[in-house]
Structures are given as C-alpha cells and as structure tokens.
Structure 1
Amino acid sequence: MPDPTASTLLIQGGRVLDAATRSAPFTDLLVEHGVITRMGPPGLPAPPTAEVVDASGHLLHAGLVNGHTHGGTNFVKGTHDRWSLELLLNGAPGWSANFSMAHKMLATRIGAVEMLQKGCTTCYDLSFGFPLVTVDELFAIGQTYVDAGMRAVVAPMLQDISFYSAIPGLYDALPADLRERLNTAPGDTAWILSQMEEALSNWPHDKTQVRLGIAPTIPLHCSDELTRGCARLATKYGAPMQSHVAESKVQAVAALQRWGHSLTAHFESLGMLGPEFTVAHGVWLDDDDLRRLAAHGASVAHNPGSNMRLGAGIAPARRMLELGVNLAIGTDGALCADNQNMYEAMRYASMASNVRTPDFNTWLTAPEVYTAATAGGARATGFERTGRIAVGQQADLVFIDLNTINWIPMNDPVNQLVLAEEGTSVRHVMVGGRWVVQGGAHLGTDLKQLATDAAQAAAHLTHANAEGRYLADALEAAVGSFCIGLCRSPFHLHRYGGPPGL
C-alpha cells in the first residue's frame, strides 16, 4: 500500500480521464504537498525524495463533488416510503429532534465515510438543529470532516417561520385539535443571526478544507429580515450560501400567492443572489429565474434522485446550462436519497435529462454530467482548485480498478463512469495528496464499530422521537391532501413525468 503520509508522490502507469475527448491516456502525475505540479506521458522524472505509486490497471478521475446533502440524516436512510417534500417537512419532529452533538458528529461521519469510499471528496452539507445548530456543534461537525479527510462546506439551515405558517392556508386546513399541539411561533431572528455571525467570526478550521456557509433553508420559511441578514453576513465573511429554491410545485405556487412573484425574484430583491449563492434543486425555475441566476453568476445543485424520490418533478438541467447557470450535482440527504452515491446521482442526471423530451440533441451528454459533478460542484462550493486533474490543482484523485466487471471491456471511459460505475470499482482515494481510502476501505474507520454506534444512536432517537412521530403521522393526511390540492393549481410550468393536471 502507498504511504499515506508521503508529501511528494509520483503516480505512474495510470490512465487519467479526459472527459472532453472521451479518452483516458496513460499519464504520470507528480504531486507535491498536495498539489499536482507536473503531468505528462509515462516516464515523467521525479525528485529523488518522491514515493512512486504504481497506478497500473487504474483509471484516475477528479474527486466527485456532492453539491447538496444533509449529513445529519444518515441515521434515517431507507426509513420512509411514498412521501413528498412537504410530508418530509411535516415529519421532522419524528426524525430530526433530540440530536445531541455526538449524534450529529456520528451521522456526519457515516456520510463522510460513504462518500469517500464512493469517490466523492467534497460535499456541501446543510446541517440542521432545533431551533438552530449551536456554534459548538458547527465546529464539531467541521472537525468531523477534518478527521475524515474530506472537504466540505458546512452550512446550517436557518429559518424563523414554521413550515405550517410558510405555506399560505396550510395551518388553517389542519384539524383544530392538532393545530393546538403545534408551535408555530416565529423564531428569534436577531438571535439566529447573532449565532451565525459568532460561528463565522470564530471558525476554527482551515478554510481550504472545511468552509462555513449559510443556508436560509427555504425562502418561504425565512422572513425578509432573516434573508437580508444572511446576505449581509455572507458578504462580510465571504461565506457561501445555499437554499432550497423551487424544489416543489408547492413552493412555486405558494410564492406567487404570498409575494406575487417567484422565489428567485424575491431572493434577488433581498440581495441574496451572487457567485457564492447556490440554488438547491430548482425544479420549478422558469427561464426568467434562470436568467436572473446566470446574471449573478449563481449555481444550481441538481438533485435528480431526490427529486424523483420525493415526486418533486424533473429539473430543466439542459436549460440551466443553455442560459449560463453553473450546474452542480448532489445526492441530497439520506432521508430522501437513501445513499450518498455520486455515481448514482450522475446516472440519474443523465437519465432524467433523457425523459424530458424525445429530442436527443438536448439530452445531457456524459461529459456534461461528469463536469457538473466535478468542476461545477467545485465552483459551487468555492473549492475552485479542485474538480479537475491539471497542473496547479489540488490532488483530489479517485483510483478506479479497471479489472472490475464495470470496466470489462473499457470502451468510452466517461460514458462508463457516468452510466456503468456505481462505486464498487473505487480502490483508492486521495484528498489534497493524502490517502483517505486505500483498498476500498476508509483509513481510520472501523466499520463494525461505526455500525454498532449507529444502531445504538438510531434506537435512542427512535424512542426519544416517538411522540413527534405520532403527531406527524396524525397530521400527514391533512398536510398531504392540502399540498396535492395546491399542486393542482394552474401554473405556467409542467415538471412532472405524467400529464398536466395530475
């Protein structure tokens, strides 16, 4: 096995993916202090102090970037069936309450290990807590990524309007006896912003590895005061921002009822849009929204698997690229994606593009999908020296074993990476020139112990959240019925797989 501590590496004998040309030429790489300093045909000379790494039989590609996930949901993968985004939010008291700092660190660790073992070296993690992730918890979540050897943006979700108050008419549609049990009081906006600023001003981690971001969770769930405050803090501290914008038709219709214009237009009026801003999902964005985002240099994190899982619809990824929006790809959290597999997310992105139209000329190509999952994600997260294998870039590299069945035979390497790989061929992964996965195993993690710890935590939370689950179940029929009715409202876009009016 290669030395995980070596500072100078000569990686020889491997094939480096060139997505643009759909090729993978044999290429040697010299990595010094975590940066690719030279690359060229086989026979590249190396300093005498370099450790030589034999990459024969391997394809090297840039580490994948998960543009949108929720690390705190990794205890609840595979726990729910047939629920929409709004039912997920209604169910929050049953799956997201009573998390200790240790629980949040453990859940984050599970996700980090899974992503790294499946070729993902960077993620944008929207963390949650009620009423807010504490400053100490944010620092601890950041440390979890540091310890795992992964890059991350940690962005706490902020809101001061409850889910039941955010959607016009929803609260009044609930049974009276159940309404009395809900806490729909507005949050303390000034306190939320003060906590966010404290975390930003005291962030203890190396920002080249783990950055602190800001995530006003959904525009409808944020007062104008909170939104403006987030924009102000992002400007002051150079922090990235992300928000769930137009994820569902419920959100798109509710925005028109509440403001008379789109979620994107509302955020633009409050100063949110800019090159550090990323829309999560964006299923129900129209051309006007996309032009606004493009004009500000903003990004969209496309989550095709989650969008299908929650019945949110099919996002217009091709149109995003056509209008100049930076496109990233994400898995979303384990609660609505069930795994953190970016290879699967790439495959979904390709397939979802195809089912939108019979015009194959508009389908996303495999190189476009791969670029979104690497360089597009690097831009969205702000780690712009990642996402490509090139001189001057950080050595975030994934080694794919070409002797696995997914690659027998190897034909078009970018097609096979996007459409045939599912993570089982990943043998080694490095982040910034440091090995974090070797032989398919995450260095420093005992999976048996991790499984034991996770089972204990999940059992504790299941018991602690029993009352919240009962209330969510009691509300589900009323919430679901109201939201289905809202989705049948006339709207100028259609993003579902079935015919209009369903």
Structure 2
Amino acid sequence: MNLLIKNGLIVTMDGERRVIKDGAILVRDGRIEEVGKTHKVSKFSAEEVIDARGKAVLPGLINSHTHTHETLLSGVSDCLELYSWSDTVLQPYLKSLRREDCYWVALQACAQMIGSGITCYNDMFGYNSPILDVIIKVIERCGIRGVIGRYIRDAEDPKYASMAISDTLAAIEQCRDKPRIEVRFCPFTVLKCSGETYGKTRELASKYDVGLHTHMAETRKEIQIMEKEKGKGTVEYLDSLDFFGPDVVAAHAIWLKDEEIKILSDKGVKIVHNPSSNMKLASGVIPLRKLIDRGVTVALGTDAAPFSDDWDMFIAMRLATYLQKVHNLDAAASTAEEALELATINGAKALMLEDEIGSLEVGKKADMILIDLKGVGLTPINDIAKKLVFCGTGCYVDASIIDGEIVMENRCLKTVDESELVEKSQTIAEDLIESSGIWKSLEAQGVKRWKVI
C-alpha cells in the first residue's frame, strides 16, 4: 500500500533532529520514500491519504524491555520489593497460567502497546513449556513489530534451560521469513542462570546471528550476593564470561561502579532504563548521565505490567527525566529531548535496528504514530518535544502505522476485536488470580486492599 501523510508536524528524530511544520511523509511498499514540506511531498500520488492537520507525526515508540506474560497482573500488587513480589505473586501466577491463556495475555499486551504508541517491543516471555510459537501468532495477528525471547534459567531445574533454548532455536527457524519478528536468547539473570548457560547462549547467539537480552545489576541484593559468591559484581562477572558485545541488551543496570560503566562502553553493551519499575520496586536509580557521557547507548522500557501498571512510554519518558533531576539534585540532569531519543532512535540502536526504524527518514521502515494535538491537554504547543514528554500520554495517540500498514486509526485497533479481548482478558485474569491464591498471599505479606461489597 502507498500512503501519504500530509499537513502534520513531523518530529523526524533524524540526525539533525528536524521538526517539520506543515510536513508530509510518503510511504511506498512499507518504506518511507519522501519526507518534507507538504507542498513538495503531496505532489506524489498515493492510494491512501491521511490529513494530519492538528497532529504530530513521530517515529513509533520502542519499548526496549518488557515481559508480556505478566500483563494480567497490572494493578494487583504494591509495597513489595522484587524478590518478595516474585515469590508472592509471579511464581503462583505462572504455575496457574495455561498455554491457551498465553495467547490472550500476549494479545492484550500488544493491543495496549499499539494503543499507546509503541510499534516495536523487546519481550522476555516467561512460561514453563515451549510457548514462542504462540507469541509469533499474536504478533502476526495484531501487526506490531516484535523482538521476542523467553526466560532461560537453570538454577532450579537444569532441564528448564534446555527446553527454553530449544524453544528459542525453533522460533529462530520459524521467523526466518517473518520480517517483523526477530528472536533473541534471554538468559534471565545471574542469580537464576549459571555461567555455563550464559556461555551457551552467547555461543548460540553468535552462531545464529541474533541478539541477547538479560537483566543486570537491578538490585543491591543482587550485587551483594554476587560479590559474596563470585567475588565480583554482576558486570565484572559477565565480562569474565566473555558474554558482552554490541548485540547484548541489558535491562536496569542500576548498581554500577565507574569501572563497570567503562566495561559496558568498551564492549558496546546496550542498556535499557525502566524508571517505573525501578521506582515502584524501590530498586534504585540508574546512573544515566554517567552512562550517556561514557557513550553507552541507553534505551527505555516499561518493564512488566505489574511494575509500571501500564504500557505508556510517554509516562516512562517523563519519569526517566524527572527521576534524574531529583536524584542528582540537578534540574539539567536530563532533558525532554534526551527522553525522546531513549524512546525512539536509541531503542532502535539497542535492538540493532537503527537502519530500519527509530526515525522518520527516507529508506526506513514506515513505523510511525500520529498524536492528536487539538485537545485541551496538549494546548498550547510551545515546544513540541517538551510538550510530548512532560504532558503527553498514550491516550493522545490517534493512529499507529507499522511497516506501512495502518493498525490503529481514530484510536480504533484494526487488527483486534477490542470488545472480545477485554472480555477474555478480564475472565482469564479473575480465574488466574483466584486459582493461584495471590490475594491471600498478599494479605499474609501485609499488603492491604479495599474490599468490594
């Protein structure tokens, strides 16, 4: 399909960070063919035309770290740090989660992401048996761009790692002719994965030319355990395994020494900041300024739904900026423009997709979103970058275009029956939470909630 978007405010995120007033974009066969002023670009014909008057046009947002299997746990828990939450909520939930549920769980997550302006996501799915074939079906149905993988861990059961690696290898083969889907190996964390498994996934990623996705230095407890058991922190330990490289995406990276930041920079490791998660779980604050100043690529993620309780990258951008300002007692510690880079072009760099997505430039894939600027909430527009980051939410996203296809228009998803999805998700969530005994477990932990009568 050929598509012309005209009369919009184009936030290109290109190398010059151009913002084009009364701009237009021409899309042919899923790629951007022209970007410029409407009076120049609109002379080209197109099968479909979108009048973007009163709208901003941005590259699709990239959620560089998440766990879609936890979608139905949003708004469930509070007041627990990571490990207590995992024992009290996540593990009982995973034991009750059925394979047939996973399709609807993942579809709910993808629908929410598309609805809030996310056109590409990097997922680490958790399930106790092969599942990536189901996630592939979800992505194909809803039209989002996905970089997928699954937990690989062997601390409790060595057979789990073998199963998860086999599932990942099968997905790599299945996705060879699916350009919107890439697969990564996902060793879970140093506390749940042996050095042998990290080494195995490193070897396989290099062999099959795919990336790696892991958690790293998320909590102070993790570092304390590593220093006690291994005599070194997480970064130094993974470096000793020759795990690092430009194809590694590491989520969190909060508890870092200066010499570890140098290692990450030297090895080209990509970092994903998850401000909502880090705040809610009281995990800590990423040394964002030090990482960026060292030349480390930092992207942005929502993490799992229970930690951000939404899939809203606008809120993630705002929190990332505010968190650095207050933590460093420096109002200039982070900027709106920097936050937009984390959510777009840096996300593309983290996933090694910067030649394809992350900015609105000729030759790139046509992944873009339209933001309605006409409402009271976004008026007046004094500076578009600052307005989007400090005032925007996913609710202002009017349309989402992925691979040149319109997957949401006028805030209506075109690939998913939203009424059916809402009904299915609510039913499954109520059943899972009840059957897993999560409410009782939370009460035993002293977590209070209001009673519904």
TM above 0.5, yes or no, is: yes
* Aligned residues of 2:12 and 2:361 also touching (Cα < 8 A): no
Distance change (3 Å), C-alpha of 1:194 and 1:241: closer
Task: Give SS of 2:58's match.
Answer: strand
Cα RMSD (Å) = 2.0
What secondary structure does 1:96 align onto? helix
- Residue equivalent to 2:336: 366
Runs of 5+ consecutive residues of structure 1 not aligned to the other structure: 1-6, 163-185, 478-502
The answer to whether the Cα contact below 8 Å between 1:24 and 1:59 also exists between their aligned partners in 2 is no
User: Are 1:151 and 2:138 an aligned pair?
Assistant: no
Query: Residues of 1 paired with 2:223 and 2:194: CA distance?
Result: 17
In 2, are the aligned partners of 1:200 and 1:237 still within 8 Å (CA)? no
Q: CA deviation at 1:376?
A: 0.9
Contact 2:20 2:37 in 1 (8 A): no
Q: Name the residue aligned to 2:25.
A: 29
How many Å apart are 1:72 and its aligned residue?
A: 0.5
Cα distance in structure 1, aligned partners of 2:331 and 2:407: 39
Task: Name the CA shift for 1:449/1:31 in 2 (closer, same or farther; >3 Å).
Answer: same
Q: SS at 1:38's partner residue?
A: strand
Shift in Å, 1:324: 1.2
Q: Map of 1:354-433 to 2, 5 A cutoff?
A: 354-361=325-332, 363-384=333-354, 385-433=356-404
User: Closer, same or farther in 2 for the Cα pair 1:45/1:427, shift >3 Å?
Assistant: closer
SS of the residue aligned with 2:95? coil
1:102 aligns with 2:100: yes
Q: Deviations 1:434-480 (Å, cap 9, x if unpaired)? A: 001110111132322212111221232224323x8767876x69xxx
1:160 is matched with: 154
Identity %: 27
* SS of alignment partner, residue 72 of structure 2: coil
AA in 2 matched with 1:369: A
> Do the aligned partners of 2:66 and 2:123 also contact (CA within 8 Å) in 1?
yes
**Which residue does 1:315 correspond to in 2?**
286
| 1:125 aligned to which of 83, 102, 123 | 123
1:343–1:421 Cα contact (<8 Å) kept = yes
Partner of 1:139: 133
Matches within 5 A, 1:440-479: 440-466=411-437
- 2-structure distance, mates of 1:144, 1:193: 19
1:499 is matched with which residue?
none
Work out which of the residue numbers 185, 188, 196 in structure 1 matches 2:159: 188
Match of 1:332 among 282, 294, 303: 303
**Residues 375 and 201 of structure 1: is their aligned pair in 2 closer, same or farther, counting only changes over 3 Å?**
closer
- Summarize deviations over 1:18-61 as a string: whole Å, max 9, x none: 56668442211111011111112122254445433211111101
- Give the direction of change, closer, same or farther, for the CA distance of 1:140–1:189 in structure 2 (3 Å limit): closer
Cα contact 2:6–2:42 (8 A) shared by 1: no
Q: C-alpha distance in 1, partners of 2:21/2:297?
A: 28
Closer/same/farther in 2, CA of residues 246 and 51 from structure 1, 3 Å limit: same
Q: Does 1:80 align with 2:77?
A: yes
- Aligned match of 1:241: 212
Distance 1:469 1:97, change over 3 A: farther
Q: What residue is the counterpart of 1:59 in the other structure?
A: 56
Measured after TM superposition, the shift of residue 66 of structure 1 is 0.4
CA offsets per residue over residues 116-141 of structure 1, 9 Å max, x none? Answer: 111110111110012xx40xx20111
Which of 295, 300, 322 does residue 266 from structure 2 map onto? 295
How far, CA to CA, are the matches of 2:134 and 2:376 in structure 1?
40
Instruction: Look up the equivalent residue of 2:91 and give its one-letter code.
Output: P
The CA distance in 1 between the partners of 2:161 and 2:49, in whole Å, is 55
Q: Retained in 2: the 8 A contact 1:197–1:233?
A: no
Q: Distance in 2 between matches of 1:119 and 1:190?
A: 34
Letter in 2 for 1:52: V
Give the SS at the match of 1:160: coil
For residues 167 and 178 of structure 2, the distance between their equivalents in structure 1, rounded to whole angstroms, comes to 16
- Matching of residue 257 in structure 1 with residue 228 in structure 2: yes
Unaligned runs of 5+ in 2: 447-453
Contact 1:24–1:413 (CA under 8 A) maintained in structure 2 = no
Aligned twin of 2:241: 270
Give TM-score, length-normalised by structure 1. Answer: 0.84
Q: Is the 8 A contact 2:150 2:168 kept in 1?
A: no
Please state how far the C-alpha of 1:298 moved relative to its aligned partner.
1.2
Post-superposition shift, 1:424?
A: 2.0
Q: Do the aligned partners of 2:12 and 2:59 also contact (CA within 8 Å) in 1?
A: no
Post-superposition shift, 1:386?
Answer: 0.6
8 Å Cα contact 2:132-2:167 kept in structure 1: no
Structure 1 residues 409 and 153, CA gap change in structure 2 (3 angstroms): same
Q: How many angstroms apart in 2 are the aligned matches of 1:201 and 1:108?
A: 19
Q: CA deviation at 1:196?
A: 4.2
- Structure 1 residue 280, shift from structure 2 partner: 0.5
Q: Report the AA paired with residue 155 of structure 1.
A: G
Asked whether the 8 Å contact 1:239–1:276 carries over to 2, the reply is yes
Q: In 2, are the aligned partners of 1:94 and 1:470 still within 8 Å (CA)? A: no
Deviation track 1:226-277 (CA, whole Å, cap 9, x = no partner) reads 1111111111112221111111111111110111111111111212211110
Residue in structure 2 matched with residue 494 of structure 1 by the alignment: none
Conserved in 2, the CA contact under 8 Å of 1:22 and 1:414? Answer: no
CA-to-partner distance for each residue in 1:331-355, whole Å, 9 max, x for gaps? 0111211111111100010111101
Deviating 4+ runs (over 3 angstroms):
18-24, 45-50, 204-207, 468-474
Alpha-carbon distance between aligned partners in 2 of 1:193 and 1:18, rounded to the nearest angstrom: 39
CA distance in 2, matches of 1:107, 1:402: 31
- Contact 2:66/2:301, CA 8 A, preserved across alignment: yes
TM-score (norm 2): 0.92
> What do residues 330-389 of structure 1 show as CA deviations (whole Å, max 9, x unaligned)?
00111211111111100010111101222334x111111101110111122233211101
Q: Residue 257 of structure 1 aligns to a residue in which SS?
A: helix
The answer as to 2:271 corresponding to 1:283 is no
- Cα drift, residue 111 of structure 1: 0.9
Distance 1:459 1:101 in 2: 16
2:380, 2:125 → 1: CA distance? 41
Compare CA radii of gyration and give the structure with the larger one: 1
One-letter amino acid matched to 2:11: L
